[in-house]
Amino acid sequence: MNTTALRLAVVGHSNTGKTSLLRTLLRDRDFGQVADRAGTTRHVEGARLSIDGATALELFDTPGLEDPSGLRDYLDLLCPSSERLDGPARIERFLASSEASRRYEQEAKVLRQLSHSDAGLYVIDARDPVLGKHQDELALLSDCAKPLLPVLNFSAASHNRAAAWADALARAGLHAYVPFDTVAPAEGGEAQLYASLALLISHGKAALTRLTEHLAEQRQQRQHAGIRCIAELLLNSAALRHSVPSANAAAALSELQNTLREREQHCVRNLLQLYGFHPDDALPDHLPLNAGRWGDDLFHPETLKQLGIKVGGGMAAGAASGVGIDLLFGGMTLGAAALLGAVAGGGLQTARNYGKRLIGKLKGHAELTVDDNLLRLLAARGLWLLAALDTRGHAATEALQGQTPTAPWPDALPKPLRQARAHPQWCAWQEQATDEERQRAVSELAAVLHDSRQA
């Protein structure tokens, strides 16, 4: 493997989204500072992308070029055309000049960094009109004699001027460019960016291909991890059994509901963290999620209705509580059957669990379980959030379009969840829940969720 990583400078006019692009490429929403004004970034800051601990790509954020027209005039002053200096020589002379650390300090940092890099990503706000300053900017950058890949940011915005930009870039000799929206990167947008880059830097081709593959792999891992989060939540909820004296069932209901709210919240937090977001990051508008919390209460009948979960008349009351009361048969029959299983091989823990439940039964306790519809609701919301996170870049703030999903499994719960109903010891909130059968069920459920995601 070659030891020196590719170095990429991210350059462009100020406030075009350079730092945002870096955040998205690095999947690090804490990188640098982002604000909607000129001159947010005032230094060069680097970060790397690694594959298994080896640096594959070094990316450098630079300040915006704020006064390219002034600088170009100054360069003409420094290097009279009679001297016929070439681009890099002109840049060198400028970097050694007095204004490089005064009026044009910011611009000097950009040109210096680009000169020390293998290539530059030239970030454009595609909504901006093409102006003289941009042409001056392109002239300055091309003086550095490094490959430049224009990146049309905000290409998803409705009034963009991508066509005018393509024309202007072609006039500057830049014929390849990539559209890229840092807030909602298109599927495969990142791969396209690296592929276009590989065409410009021939010695970086292998490294960039490997990086693209690695990123795809990581994305899959993240998806799997996200789905597992949801699968665990569902399985634990399905296995949950809350034994209470029949008389106190109503009071215990709200306690159980709170547990579920908390657990769902926990899952949301995990998903956000998995995708590198903070709970207070702005998330797509259509997700009723505020500061990392779902706005709609889990147990409000309206929430069920929104996700297309039909609740029959007689069941409405139970469904609204989200909890079924398992008075006799469910718990007892399952209990007795599984008790035998426990004695055969479940170990002390399981036997103790069943013992407790049998005693509870004899004392006339009721067992609270989580309703089917609630499980479907949890699944729908989890998958919804996951899908939104999966397509969201690590930049900014604007709302995304999207529609409310419908809840999965209208007819019957998938097998692993039905199994979980009969295995209270699978509920990791109450028990050890480490046996292989449970892990198998989680994997199966994850596969089911994966399929219903695709559907």
Partner 1 sequence: MRNALSSPHHTSTFDRLWLAESLRLLEEQQGPLDDQAVLAHLQQQGNHRPKDLILQRAAAEGARLKLDHAQQRWRLLQRLGSPLLALLALLSGGLLSASLLGDGSQPVNIFVVLLGLGGLASLTLVLWLGGMLLRQSSSVLGRLWLDVQRLSLGDGNAAWLARGYAALLSRGHLLRWQLGLISHSFWLLHLTGALLGLVLLLSVRRYGFIWESTLLPAESFITLTQPIGMAAALLNLPQPDLGQIAASDQWQRHDAALQQAWAGWLLAALLLYVWLPRLIGVIVCALHYQRRQRRLDIDLSLPGYATLANRLQHRSLGVLDAEHPHTSTRATHAAPSAGSGQWLVGLELADDEPWPLSHAEGWRDGGVLRQRQHSAALLQGWQAQPPQHLLLVCDARQTPDRGLERWLESLANAAAQPALLLLHAEHSPRLALWQQLNWPHPRFEHWAQAHAWTQSA
Ligand X SMILES: Nc1nc2c(ncn2[C@@H]2O[C@H](COP(=O)(O)OP(=O)(O)OP(=O)(O)O)[C@@H](O)[C@H]2O)c(=O)[nH]1
Where do contacts with ligand X occur on this chain (CB under 6 A)?
A: 14-20, 34-36, 38-41, 63-64, 153-154, 181-183, 395-398
Instruction: State the minimum distance, in angstroms, from the CB of residue 10 to ligand X.
Output: 8
Q: Could you tell me the two tokens for 303?
A: 């929430």
Measured CA to CA, the distance from residue 104 to residue 121 in angstroms comes to 21
Q: Which does 391 bind (CB under 5 to 8 A by kind): partner 1, ligand X, Mg ion, none?
A: none
CA distances, 348 to each of 343, 361, 420 (Å): 8, 20, 20
398 binds, among ligand X, Mg ion, partner 1, none (CB under 5 to 8 A by kind): ligand X
Nearest to 211 by CA among 11, 5, 4, 45: 5
Residue 345, number of CB atoms within 10 A of its CB: 8
Q: What are phi and psi of 398, to 5 degrees?
A: -75, 150
Collapse the DSSP code of 161 into the 3-class scheme (helix H, G, I; strand E, B; otherwise coil) and give the result: coil
Q: Which amino acid is residue 205, in one-letter code?
A: K
Stretch that binds partner 1, among 21-29, 240-248, 381-389, 418-426 (CB under 8 A): 21-29
3-state secondary structure (DSSP) of residue 196: helix
27/376 with CB nearer partner 1 = 27
Residue 105 or 451 with smaller CB distance to partner 1: 105
- When asked if residue 19 is in the footprint of Mg ion (CB under 5 A), the reply is yes
- 105 touching partner 1, by CB under 8 A: yes
Residue 20 interacting entry, from partner 1, Mg ion, ligand X, none, C-beta within 5 to 8 Å by type: ligand X
Query: Cβ–Cβ contacts within 10 Å for residue 165, how many?
Result: 24
Instruction: Report how far residue 169's alpha carbon sits from residue 181's, in angstroms, rounded to the nearest whole number.
Output: 18
Q: Measured from the CB atom, is 66 or 118 closer to ligand X?
A: 66
Total residues binding partner 1 (CB under 8 A): 78
CB nearer Mg ion, residue 38 or residue 199: 38
Q: How far is CA 134 from the centre of its chain?
A: 33
Binding mask 24-53 for Mg ion (x = CB under 5 A): ----------------xx------------
The least distance separating Mg ion from the CB of residue 149, rounded to whole angstroms, comes to: 18
CB 349 within 8 A of CB 432: yes
* 308-367: contacts with partner 1 (CB under 8 A): 344-349
From the list 100-108, 195-203, 292-300, 387-395, the region that binds partner 1 by CB under 8 A is: 100-108
Q: Among residues 29, 118, 121, 128, which is the contact residue for partner 1, using CB under 8 A?
A: 128
Strands 323-326 and 365-370: antiparallel
Among 232, 264, 371, 372, binds partner 1 (CB under 8 A): 232
User: Around Cβ 248, how many Cβ atoms within 10 Å?
Assistant: 12
- Rule CB under 5 A: which residues touch Mg ion? 18-19, 40-41
